[in-house]
Each structure stands twice: as C-alpha cells, then as structure tokens.
Amino acid sequence: MKSFDGIESLIRESNKEFIEKDLQPFLRIPSNTLNKKGILKAKNFLTSYISKFSEKIEEIKGIINPLILARVKGKIKESILIYMMYDTQPINNEEEWISTPFGAEKKMLPPPLKELGECIIARGAYNSKTPLICFLNTVKRLKEIDELPISLLLLFDGEEEMGSPTLLKFLENKKETFKNCIDAFYPATKQDLDGTAVLKLGYKGILSFTIKVYSKNKEPHSGFSSMIPNPATDLVSLLNTIYSNTQFQIDSMKTTYALTEEESSLIDGLLEKIDIEKIKRKAGIIETKEEDPRKIFVSYLFNPTFNISTLKSGFLDEGIKNMVANEAICNIDIRFAHNCSIDDIFKEIKAKIDSYTKNSTSHFELIKNIGYEGSRVEKDSILVKSLIKSAKMLEIPTEIWPISAAAAPLSKIQKELGLNFITGGLGIGGFAHSPNEFIQVNSILNTRLGFSYFLKTYSDLYLKEL
C-alpha cells in the first residue's frame, strides 16, 4: 500500500481547511438532544458529509432522535463497527462560558490551562463531535486515494445523552445488521494535558431511574403537615433506605469491589506517572472526599456511585412559602464496576420502595430509564495493540487504565453482538458536560493522523492473524 504513505501529507496539508470548513461549522450546530432543529441540522450535515464516500445510508426512526447507519467499502470486506454520537448535553451556566457555547471560537483558556495555547470552545468540542468529524474526514481522505484498508459500518447515535434508548433496542432486535462486523470502535480524543494517550480497557455499568412520590392533596399550609402525606420527607426517608452515610444499603452494591492482580498492578504503575491534580483540573474538580491519591484514584475507577442528578419538590420560586408539597421527584444514576446485573440492582431498589410504602400514605412510582452492564477488553486484543501502535507512530506514549469511570451504551454491543470494542484516539480536550468545553487546536492534526494509522495498523494485524 505505497499510496497509503501519502495520506500523512494529504492530512497535514488540509488541516487548516478542515478546521475552518468542517470542524467549526459542525461544532456551531446546537445539537443538544432535545433541540429538534439543532438535531435535524446536525443529522443533515452528517448525511451530506458521508454521502460522498458511503455505499449505503439508512435512517432509523428513533424514540427521540434518529439513528444513522452507513456502510463504507474498504479493501477488507469484513467491517469494523464505528460508533459515534451527534447529540450533546444542553448548556448550563452560560454566564461561566468565555465565549458562546455553540460559537466554536478559538480562545485561550484561563490559567492554569492557558499553557494549552489556542483552543476551540464549544459544547461537543471534546465529547464528542470533534473526534466524530475528524474520523469521518480521515475516511473521506482515504477513500479519495482508494486506500481505505478495511470496510466500516458507521453508526451515529442521536440519543446518547439520553441513554441511547433507540440504539439499545436496535442492537437487541436487529443483530443481523452487524453480522459482517468483527470489532467495534468509538473514536475519541483521549490524550491527557501532558500529551500522553490514555487507553481504558472497559466501562462501568449504569442504571438510571426516577422516583416520584406524590399525594392527591393540593398544597395546603404546613400547619397541616402532621395529619397528611408529605411526599418530600417520604422521598428523603426512602432514599436513606437505599443509600446513606456514603454506603449502599442494597446487597448487590454493599460489597467492596475486589481489584484483580492485573488491575492493582496497572493502578500502581499509573500512580507513578499521572498527576491526580491535573486530572481534577481538567475535569473542573476543586474538592474531593479523600486526600490520598491512591484512594482517590481507586474510588474514582471502581467504587459504585449513587448520584442524584435531579431532586425537585415544593416551592421553587424566590422567597418562602410554608406549604406541604404534593410531589417530590428525583433522578438517580448508579455506576458500578461490579459484575452484576442491572435487573438485580433494580429489583433490590423496587423491594426497598415496596417495603417503605407499607408504612406510608404517599403514593410511589419507580421508573427505569436506562441501564446496561459494564464491559472489558483484553490488553492483547487487536483493538488495543492498534491504538498503541498508531500513537507510537506519532511518538506519543500510551497509558493503559484498567477501566473508565464512565458508562457507555457500547457495553451493550459486547453483550448483544459479542464484539470487542474500545474507545480511543488522539487529541487534547476537556470539560465535557461543563462550561468551556474545549479541544486544543494544535492537537487536531494528530487526531486525524492517529485515526488513519489506527485503520491501517488494525487491518495489517487482522490480516496477519487470519
């Protein structure tokens, strides 16, 4: 594949044009999940972009937003499944942004991140519209010179930030769509602030659910509180039967996660190289529960989380109103590294609610929003080897982490389709889901080059193992 050698110069020469004509326009589309106009614009942008090199494009009607499937023919007929998301989180705390959240302006971040130089500030710049369009541009360039080394099945998810309900059902019901796929890959920008590529060998599982507590009363004066149901206090009391004093009260999550010998060894090696303070800074974290770096790191990666993302009840305007709320609602997500079923966790939570309701006059409703178990990929898999080698070709070292603290619907790909998958790629960014989400301008070239080397390296290793 001598002509493949020319891809590096082709990508380098087109990098400035790519940023200005492809990346920034895409980042300017306000494609937060519930913004129908923005989602439609992002979908149309993508289908137009890939129409130039895809053999077939399908749109699958979604519960909220559509899935897009596209087949791209390469030299190897078997395909890598490429998962990407085109929706983003909504904007919060807009006053904290240093530029318009969907302006995709080039700015210097405030200290201590000023050292990164010029960055593009936009929702989705890091998670994960930049790697999406970088990967597609790489495929486009390879197709132009007829050197795409392996076929691809592109899967674009427009509901990832809402738990990917359409994708999860599609994976269960349409397995034949993926019969030609041999592995799955999620393009991302995964270099730390020092430039080291971070490669994580799996994801936590997640269970997201909503609890509603309500009464049929209006909202009477608080003087009546002792004689009527109180949904707000009942919700607080109920939550304490599930999780209290930083400890789970359900059996599946009570036991401390037992690190394997390999996991412990990987953590020890990482702690010799990484700076926890830099990780905190990149994520916008000021305070932590622990001071000891190893405890912080182990807790971050392996401890189960009980996170209340929404807790709403009563009078929410300014001032004070003495009344008894007739409804209380909370949204909760549990993330876990344990090898357990989300159905078992959900059953235990339901049992806690059923038990509590026996002594309460409030009404309770438990809603399962989304959930999927965790996943792992072996260190000696082709996926891992290919990402390490592609980074090495650009003289970028790789750090291997035993697991990601995040959860991803890609875990379902492993369970339903039996495919290994991994998230990886080059590029420096941060502040996902937070104000001033960014991608470092000078790292974008390596993002595109890294994806081209990954595809070539993966294909070579795959053919070697046949």
Q: What is the pLDDT of residues 241-284, one digit of tens each?
A: 999 999 999 999 999 899 999 999 999 999 998 888 877 876 77
Q: Is the pTM of this model over 0.75?
A: yes
**Residue 4 confidence (pLDDT):** 63
pLDDT band at 330 (very low <50, low <70, confident <90, very high): very high
The stretch 387-397 carries a mean pLDDT of 96
Mean pLDDT of the chain: 94
The Cα 285–Cα 274 span in angstroms is 16
Q: List all residues 6 or more positions away from 118 whose beta carbon is below 8 Å from its beta carbon.
A: 106, 107, 108, 440, 441, 442
What are the chain's domains?
2-201+377-465 (3.40.630.10), 204-257+303-372 (3.30.70.360)
Largest CA distance in the chain: 83
The helix (H) or strand (E) run that includes residue 71 is strand 67-72
pLDDT band at 1 (very low <50, low <70, confident <90, very high): very low
pLDDT band at 407 (very low <50, low <70, confident <90, very high): confident
Question: Are the beta carbons of 425 and 131 closer than 8 angstroms?
Answer: yes
Residue type, 93: N
* pLDDT > 90 in the chain, percent: 84
In the DSSP assignment, the letter for residue 426 is: -
Q: Which two tokens stand for residue 450?
A: 């890294």
- Phi and psi at residue 81, in whole multiples of 5°? -80, 120
**Residue 463 confidence (pLDDT):** 97
* pLDDT > 70 in the chain, percent: 99
